[in-house]
Structure 1
Amino acid sequence: METFNTEILINHTPYETRVAIVEDGILQDVMVERERRRGIVGNIYKGKVQRVLPGMDAAFIDIGLERTGFLHLKNIGRKDEDAPQRISDVLREGQTLLVQVLKDPIGSKGARLSTEISIPSRFLVFLPNADDIGVSIKIASEAQRQSLRDLMVGFHRGHQGGFIVRTAIESADMWAMRADMQYLQRVWEAILQAQQQAKPGTLIYRDLPLYLKVLRDYVSPQVSRVAIDDHDAYQEMSRFVENFLFEMSDRLLHYRGEKTLFARFGIDDEIELSLKRHVPLKSGGHLIIDQTEAMTTIDVNTGGYVGKLSQDDTIYRTNLEAAHAIARQLRLRNLGGIIMLDFIDMVNAEHQQGVMEALILALGGDKNKYTISPISPLGIIEMTRKRTRESLRQVMCETCPSCEGRGYVKSTETIVYELFRELMREAREFNPKMLSVIGSPELIDFIREEESLSFSDLQALLKTPIRLQSDTSYHHGLYEIALS
């Protein structure tokens, strides 16, 4: 795989964290985590059995949330092959136990739970209730898998629990695997200690926030810099680096520039472009990207580009450029599921093969698992890409109220956070006595009702009062800021 000079830029506020991964100066990936939408999958609770349901081989577990969680017999870890096969033989009402969330609560349903605890790190997954060593099947070489398994058996000797070796170890020093193992065992010891002191219904362990998860999952020797613009988050990241990534200590930076971090590196503009349907190519051609519930289609067009080449060569060059652009857009927009790539028709078999090879090469840096079919005579490639999180559009946009779902616009939440960032810029630059926001009714109502705490914190942070004024002449998401 090609080696990149990678920078990780993190914009953090109390209500939202945005991460940009930049390779050789080009934005390749964007992640957004909003505090009010942060899920509970992976969280570990000290639960209490509220009710056992023998007819369903399941139980309701109180984990301190509004709705009880649901634990099925098949999600109860058992090492003994001859263990009881009925829920009533395993659980009793009032019993306490550690459970981990598999699925977030949806509608009237509570969280789906498991007692088969798993704790991920950069290179390993720790299974405290297991005792075997596994290696990811994504590591293609059987010899390498066996070598990794033998190393882990040696490292693991004398310790309890099982491990799964993750694919990321392929690009790391093998001693990093041992460091990860020690880190995970310390985490598990802390969980057990917290469990002893906690009351039932208490959160014992929560997966890392995005700005720390990035350190855990994305830092590699190719990362030249990690910059974050929030002081408190920087301090927390520094402690994490000191404990687990000491070699990164000189590459973690606290950004204090006059411009915001994302504005300084043009990330905001790139995100804006990534929400659009039309993607221009340097040659003059363009991509048209359409997301639907069933699939995503990406159409390649030459546009007005002709140049001095023959028509076949013009088409070939445009398709080669499009292959690299498509791979980037898949990552940047986090597109998943079924994806249809409609390249410009090519008659020349060598050109078809060249485009396929260019696409596979460009996809080499993609962490998400994908499958890809040979190019058809019509220039169409069918592929699938694993969904690991919501797409950028799903996170930042909502259905357009004017076209009844045939298009999309930025969600009110996204616009409010953009407004908050703009207020921070204005306050920093002009130091006003007061800021006034005049905006559409749904925007102002959202701030007052859904983001009242964040809005209050923002005023305290800026030490500046902010007046909100609703105006029906402003359409969806529109606003203005006045200084006084």
Structure 2
Amino acid sequence: NDIDYLTKLWADLTAKSGALPVPSPIYQDLSLAQRVLRDMVTEETARILVDSRETHQKMQEFARQYTQAIVDRIAHYSGGERPLFDLHGVEDEIEKALARRVDLKSGGYLIIDFIDMENVDHRAAVLAEFSKALARDRTRLTVNGFTQLGLVEMTRKRTRESLAHVLCEPCATCTGRGEIKTAQTVCYEILREVVRESKQFSAREFRILASQSVIDLFLDEESQSLAQLGDFIGKPISLQVETLYTQEQYDVILI
């Protein structure tokens, strides 16, 4: 539990602070994989699959130190016929989660209430100001007050396309999301795509075409991941910058 983890962490920090020379780092933020072990793994978790040998080793080291009960549940996925993300549909779920509108399986839409307003007088004041502002609108509308979830229900008749729809078009880079995937996220997508291609086709070499930011990351922070993948598939992987590509665009060419 949290108390056990913090107690062990504090003991570790205390030991390091007395043994290491000054200045020395004695703590750094946990990686995503380590945070998953700390925050999401429960007694009901049967198995934790990791497709990176390096990450698998680091997770086991972390578990041995802080959560020994789950060490045996951390397994390395060696590849098989399909990449791990494809096997469990993770890629599709990521795309759904990143969509600007999140569709629910029931067919409705997800609505988020950012303000927890429980005071009845405050709610009445909000509705009064809301109705006052809407009084100038010529279009027929109704305001139904607060729901039990603290949301204000309102309907308004649609009379024409929105001004933004008429005058604007989706951003060619983010396709209207307002955000783009990080270069590191794209790197991992490319690595998984190379694995897929290597399983389906026999090529002499694989060439990655991507934006400057993604290629730079492959040459720096993700160079080891790229080298490990090359060893895994037994084929060389080359890189090529495409200046016209956005950060999310890439191609894997078989040579």
Which TM-score band applies after superposition, normalised by the shorter structure?
0.5 to 0.7
- 2:248 aligns to what SS in structure 1? coil
2:240 to 463, 469, 481: 469
8 Å Cα contact 2:181-2:247 kept in structure 1: no
8 Å Cα contact 2:100-2:177 kept in structure 1: no
Q: Deviations over 1:399-458 (max 9, x none)?
A: x5769x98334344433332233123334554533112334xxx1x22443441245324
The answer as to 2:96 corresponding to 1:270 is: no
The answer as to 2:252 corresponding to 1:481 is: yes
Deviation at 1:259, TM superposition (A): 1.6
8 Å Cα contact 1:346-1:378 kept in structure 2: yes
Aligned partner of 1:421 in structure 2 is 192
Where does the alignment leave 5 or more consecutive residues of structure 1 unmatched? 1-121, 125-179, 290-297, 299-325, 327-335, 340-344, 357-372, 380-399
Query: Structure 1 residues 427, 197: closer, same or farther in 2, change over 3 A?
Result: same
8 Å Cα contact 2:47-2:75 kept in structure 1: yes
The answer as to 2:102 corresponding to 1:223 is: no
8 Å Cα contact 1:255-1:261 kept in structure 2: yes
The alignment-based identity, stated in percent, is 32
Whole-angstrom distance in 1 between the partners of 2:13 and 2:224: 32
8 Å Cα contact 1:447-1:455 kept in structure 2: no
Whole-angstrom distance in 2 between the partners of 1:281 and 1:201: 51
What is the TM-score of this pair, normalised by structure 2? Answer: 0.62
Aligned partner of 2:122 in structure 1 is none
Query: Structure 1 residues 438, 211: closer, same or farther in 2, change over 3 A?
Result: closer
8 Å Cα contact 1:279-1:286 kept in structure 2: no
The answer as to 2:25 corresponding to 1:203 is: yes
Whole-angstrom distance in 2 between the partners of 1:266 and 1:259: 11
Deviation at 1:264, TM superposition (A): 0.9
8 Å Cα contact 1:437-1:481 kept in structure 2: yes
Aligned partner of 1:457 in structure 2 is 224
User: CA RMSD for the aligned pairs?
Assistant: 3.9
Aligned partner of 2:167 in structure 1 is none
Q: Which structure features the higher share of helix residues?
A: 2
Query: Structure 1 residues 227, 416: closer, same or farther in 2, change over 3 A?
Result: closer
The amino acid of 1:263's aligned partner reads D
Query: Structure 1 residues 200, 253: closer, same or farther in 2, change over 3 A?
Result: same
Aligned partner of 2:130 in structure 1 is none
Whole-angstrom distance in 2 between the partners of 1:243 and 1:414: 29
- Count of matched residue pairs: 209
- 2:25 aligns to what SS in structure 1? strand
Query: Structure 1 residues 416, 241: closer, same or farther in 2, change over 3 A?
Result: closer
Whole-angstrom distance in 1 between the partners of 2:14 and 2:227: 39
1:437 to 193, 204, 208: 208
Mapping 1:342-421, distance limit 5 Å: 356=149, 373=150, 375-376=151-152, 378=154, 407-421=178-192
Aligned partner of 1:254 in structure 2 is 76
Q: Which structure features the higher share of strand residues?
A: 1
Deviation at 1:270, TM superposition (A): 1.0
